[in-house]
Structure 1
Amino acid sequence: MSETSFTSWSRKDMARRLARDIPEGWYVNLGIGIPTMVADYVPLEREVVFHSENGLLGMGPAPGELDADPWLINAGKQLVTLRRGGAYVHHADSFAMIRGGHLDLCVLGAFEVAENGDIANWATSANDTAPAVGGAMDLAAGAKNLWVIMEHTTKEGRSKLVRQCGYPLTAMRSVRRVYTNLAVLDVTEQGFAVVEMAPGLSFDDLQARTDAPLRQGEPA
Structure 2
Amino acid sequence: MAWTRDEMAARAAQELEDGFYVNLGIGIPTLVANHIPDGMDVTLQSENGMLGMGPFPYAGEEDADLINAGKQTITTLPKSSFFDSATSFAMIRGGHIDLSILGAMEVAENGDIANWMIPGKMVKGMGGAMDLVAGVKRCIALFDHTNKRGESKFLKECTLPLTGKNCIHMVITDLGVFDRGHGQKRFRLRELAPDVIVDEVKSKTEADIVFE
The TM tier, using the shorter chain, reads over 0.9
Aligned residue for 1:93, secondary structure, equals helix
Q: Deviations over 1:6-64 (max 9, x none)?
A: x0100000000100121111100001111100001113521010000111101011011
Q: Which amino acid aligns with 2:46?
A: S
Letter in 1 for 2:102: L
Q: Please state if 1:116 is matched with 2:110.
A: yes
Stretch moving more, 10-19 or 204-213: 204-213
How many residue pairs get aligned? The number is 210
Counting only pairs closer than 5 Å after superposition, residues 39-188 of structure 1 correspond to structure 2 as 39-125=33-119, 127-130=120-123, 132-187=125-180
Q: Is the 8 A contact 2:50 2:82 kept in 1?
A: yes
Cα RMSD (Å) = 1.4
Unaligned runs of 5+ in 1: 1-6
Letter in 1 for 2:192: M
SS in 2 for 1:215: coil
After alignment, is 39-48 or 72-81 more displaced?
39-48
Distance 1:15 1:160 in 2: 18
Q: Would you say the 8 A contact 1:27–1:104 is kept in 2?
A: yes
The equivalent of 1:210 in structure 2 is 205
Which blocks of at least 5 consecutive residues in structure 2 are unaligned? none
| 3-state SS in 2 of match to 1:57 | strand
1:40 and 1:131 mapped to 2: Cα distance? 27
Q: Which runs of 4+ in 1 moved over 4 A?
A: none
Q: Percent identity?
A: 46
Letter in 1 for 2:139: L
Q: Match for 2:43: what amino acid?
A: V
What is the alpha-carbon distance in structure 2 between the residues aligned to residue 30 and residue 151 of structure 1? 16
Counterpart contact for 1:19–1:42, Cα < 8 Å = yes
Partners of 1:192 and 1:177 in 2: CA distance: 8
* Structure 1 residue 132 displacement after superposition: 4.6
Which digits, 9 at most, give the CA deviation of each residue in 1:58-94, with x for residues without a partner?
1011011243222111111101011221111122111
